[in-house]
Amino acid sequence: MKKLFKLRTIVLIVVTMLISQGGQSQISWDDDAQQQDAMVPLDGGLSILLGVGIAYGIKKVRNRKK
């Protein structure tokens, strides 16, 4: 059981790191100020928060079954 938990944790961390790489790429902007205000670059922190939320939800479901 512990081995399965470690494997799931490692997979979750790797997937989170891969997803966050797309948010870190920078887009070259034109001189149009309206376009700059409309788009916001997302940080890797959003992906980490999503991963932590999923892990927390899984933990809550497992605790409820016991």
Residue 30 located in a structural domain: no
Note down the domain range covering 62.
42-66
Tokens at residue 29, please? 């902007």
The CA–CA distances, whole Å, from 12 to 26, 36, 45, 58, 65 equal 25, 33, 14, 12, 22
Tell me the whole-structure pTM to 2 decimals.
0.39
60 vs 44: which has the higher pLDDT: 60
**DSSP string of 2-53?**
HHHHHHHHHHHHHHHHHHHHHHHPPPPP-S-HHHHHH--PPPHHHHHHHHHH
Residue 51 located in a structural domain: yes
Tell me the percentage of the chain whose pLDDT exceeds 70. Answer: 61
Residue 63 located in a structural domain: yes
Q: Read off the pLDDT of each residue in 23-39 and give the average, rounded to a whole number.
A: 56
Residue 53 located in a structural domain: yes
- pLDDT value, residue 18: 77
Q: Does the pLDDT at position 7 exceed 60?
A: yes
Tally of domains within the chain: 1
Residue 59 located in a structural domain: yes
Classify residue 66 by its DSSP letter.
Answer: -
Residue 23 located in a structural domain: no
pLDDT confidence tier of residue 22, bands split at 50, 70 and 90? low
